[in-house]
Amino acid sequence: MSAINELYQQLILEHNKSPRNFKTMDDADKKAEGFNPLCGDHYTIFLKIKDNRIADIGFQGAGCAISKASASMMTAAIKGATVEEVEALFQKFHAVVTGKMTSDTDVEDLGSLGALAGVAEFPARIKCASLAWHAMHSVLHEMNDSTKTVVTSDTMT
């Protein structure tokens, strides 16, 4: 295993063991649930939005190491970001983990999130890496007034 892959693997294991922003939020503005019916893994994402920014974010739930590490990394990456920055990051992350963007530069642009780029080679793992992201993305951009959205792996692309 190359040094960079080893570093990436350690990052994933570390986030799985000590997930960031692993908390509920009673006063969340938006709440999203992501569920993968194939394995039963599920996460709830809590968002507080102020002045077009992610003022706070938390998540709860249980799942495989990749899904939990990805949710943890996502919360760390988007906390404090504007809605537009989150959208750009979501699009880039999604393109990298689905293998649509494969250059070293694309992966490096993601910073520590690049640790998840390797899932592109394992189709079943793409949903693990993107479960929390789809839930967050869908509730952030929903067009109705609901404060809660549910995403299942069946609806992910």
Contact flag: residue 36 with ligand FES (CB under 6 A) = yes
Which CB, 39 or 76, lies closer to ligand FES? 39
Among 19-27, 60-68, 98-106, 139-147, which window interacts with ligand FES (CB under 6 A)?
60-68
131 belongs to the binding site for ligand FES (CB under 6 A): yes
Distance from C-alpha of 10 to C-alpha of 115, rounded to nearest angstrom: 9
- Report the alpha-carbon distance of residue 8 to residue 108 in Å, rounded: 12
Residue 63 touches ligand FES, criterion: CB under 6 A: yes
Smallest separation (angstroms) from ligand FES to the CB of 105 = 28
Pairwise CA distance, residues 19 & 75, whole Å? 9
Stretch of 18-26, 34-42, 90-98, 136-144 contacting ligand FES, by CB under 6 A: 34-42
Nearer to ligand FES, 108 or 122 (CB): 122
78 contacts 86 by C-beta, under 8 angstroms: yes
Instruction: Determine which residue in the list 12, 128, 135, 156 makes contact with ligand FES, applying CB under 6 A.
Output: 128
The residues binding ligand FES (CB under 6 A) are 36, 39, 41, 63-64, 66-67, 128, 131
